Amino acid sequence: MARARRRKVGSSGGWLTTYADMVTLLLTFFVLMLSISVVDVERYKAVAETLRSSFGSLPTENTAAPGESVVELAPGAADPDSTIEGPPPTQLIELQAPPTADSREDSARALEDLRRAQLEERAAELRSTMDDAIAAGDIEIETTDDTVIIRIKENASFPSGSANMQRAFEPVVDRIADDLSNSDDRIVVTGYTDDVPISSGRFRSNWDLSAARAVSVLMSLRDQGIDADRLSARGMGENNPIAPNDSEANRALNRRVEIALIPTWADVDKPQLDGQPID
């Protein structure tokens, strides 16, 4: 029996298809790269015109004076001699500059003037309601940098060497309490004396007398409805006189009780002890 011959399978040429696909892809790639590298002049001019209309003026053509050469720039390169006319940067992006020393001083001065005006307004209100007592010489009202002071003179309020308030002066204290009840000021009552040593057996010194008088006024204010947590009293004796103790008239000025009205903002920068400002 004859043995079957094995037929030879010739080359089918399939590799040519793969090769042709690869060449086609390479050609497409290079065509794409070429199309990207070529700038559409008309489109470039249209974009430049849009920018010029939006921001003011952008040079679209290279010009040169006679005798000068024109340097061609690559598409997209910045022209070092070109200028952009348009709104200043502060109109595009507004930035708040940090405050300078002068501006901080101006702000502090404006705040100080405002607070001073508030104190003067408060003092004017008290003067208008206490005008008869002021005219009689019983009290005085003045302002300091951060305080309104109601000064009660001894001749109208206390007998010499005594801490018991005269009954004739109690209505004046009642009116003061009515005015103070409408505010949230901190109230410090301070008693003062002259430099003559006290001869009364009830008080050991002028310190005791001044403190007792301050407490007497404080209790009257509290009895008229002033919150106790707003009140404090202290005695200064013969210290901090408002006139030299060289005559009876001046010593009479130094014998006084002062009611200091301290607004809340005045306590912010004061040192604190157990949550309370130290005067």
Length of the chain equals: 279
Q: Biggest alpha carbon distance in the chain? A: 164
Distance CA 213, CA 255 (A): 10
| Structure tokens, 126 | 């008290």
Q: Which helix (DSSP H) or strand (DSSP E) does residue 133 occupy?
A: helix 131-135
- Residue 251's identity, in one-letter code, is R
Supply the pLDDT for residue 243. Answer: 94
Of residues 80, 246, 238, 170, the one with CA closest to residue 71: 80
**pLDDT reported for residue 182:** 82
pLDDT tens sequence across 222-242: 999 999 999 999 999 999 999
Q: Are 175 and 130 in contact (CB under 8 A)?
A: yes
Least confident residue range of 29-33, 155-159, 172-176, 253-257: 29-33
Residue 90 pLDDT > 50: no
Does residue 30 surpass a pLDDT of 90?
Answer: no
Considering only 5-19, 112-126, 128-142, 196-210, which range has the smallest mean pLDDT? 5-19
Residue 191: strand pairing partners: 235, 257
Of the listed ranges 48-52, 213-217, 224-228, the least confidently predicted one is 48-52
Q: Find tokens 């014998």 and name the residue.
A: 255
Instruction: Round to whole Å and give the CA distance between 156 and 154.
Output: 5
SS3 of 40-54? CHHHHHHHHHHHHHH
C-alpha–C-alpha distance, residues 218 and 189, integer Å: 6
- In the predicted model, what is the mean pLDDT of residues 184-196? 94
Q: Closest Cα partner for 236 from 263, 216, 217, 213?
A: 213
The one-letter amino acid code at 262 reads I
| pLDDT of 161 | 84
Q: What proportion of the chain, given as a percentage, has pLDDT over 70?
A: 71
Q: Which amino acid is at 142?
A: E
Query: What does the alpha-carbon distance between residue 82 and residue 68 come to, in Å, rounded to a whole number?
Result: 16
Dist. CA 261–CA 164, nearest whole Å: 23
Name the average pLDDT for the chain. 79
Is 20 in a helix, a strand, or coil?
A: helix
Other C-beta atoms lying within 10 Å of the C-beta of residue 237: 18
Tens of pLDDT, residue by residue over 129-161, are 999 999 999 999 999 989 999 999 988 889 888
